[in-house]
Amino acid sequence: MPEMLAPLLYLDSSADRAESVSRRLTAQFAGEWRRGGGKVCHRDLSADPVALISAAYARLGRRTERRGVLSLAAIAGLVADEAERREWELTRPLVTELRDAGTVLLGVPMYNFGVPAALKLWIDRISFPGVFTDPETGRKLLADKDFVVVSARGGGYGPGTPREGFDFQEPYLRAYLTNLGVSPGRLEFVHAELTRVGDLPALAGLADLAAASLAAARGRVRELAAARSTAG
């Protein structure tokens, strides 16, 4: 019997649930994954926002860090009061969900040159000290997972464009995810650019470039989904 493929964890963060380009691309990826027989776990970070971390989260995090890398059960044993218990109950399921995934898909529109607040709330919540390191071996628990970031940008931020230096989306996510333990060779970025070409006069005349960027993104999403959904 073939080995069961680990599930796809699929996260959307666009506030626009009607015309979002990033949502259309992540939905395409998830559809390809399902056709390959894989299980999909979808979380809509905009429709169901992750709670803002509190002082109790910070207290529990500092107490944990002082003891080194701990198991999730051991962290639960450090909870000191109801506020900390609530924070851990909000955090642990998201951490477990990510640890259990085989492939992680992030849909990320560019907001103000960076990532949406909805995604940042999730990032802050899952970044609890040591939860993605094996306490027995020191192994990075995300190192054997594939991460695919699908982004949509209203303008153009590629090499050689006037706004190349305004892209704080990919550099931030690349730095954050690799620091968390994701292997650089298993981290892919797919960008659809000039998505506001029909709205902004400043982008007049760039419709062909926008269409080519979207077509390339769709093709790359298809390739990545097909490759990963049959990897098991």
Q: Cβ distance 106 to 147 under 8 Å?
A: yes
List, in sequence order, every beta strand (DSSP E) within the chain.
Answer: 8-12, 40-44, 103-109, 146-152, 187-192
- Does the annotation list 13 as a binding residue? no
Task: Determine if residue 183 is labeled as part of a ligand binding site.
Answer: no
List the 146-152 sheet strands across, edge first. 40-44, 8-12, 103-109, 146-152, 187-192
Per the annotation, does 69 bind a ligand? no
Is 168 marked as binding a ligand? no
Q: Judge whether 14 is annotated as a binding position.
A: yes
Q: Is 111 annotated as a binding residue?
A: yes
Q: Is 166 annotated as a binding residue?
A: no
Backbone angles phi, psi at 214, to 5 degrees: -65, -40
- Residues 105, 8: contact at Cβ < 8 Å? yes
Q: Is 71 helix (H, G, I), strand (E, B) or coil?
A: coil
Does 108 count as an annotated binding residue?
Answer: no
Which residues does the annotation place in the binding site for FMN? 14, 20-22, 110-113
Which residues does the annotation place in the binding site? 14, 20-22, 110-113
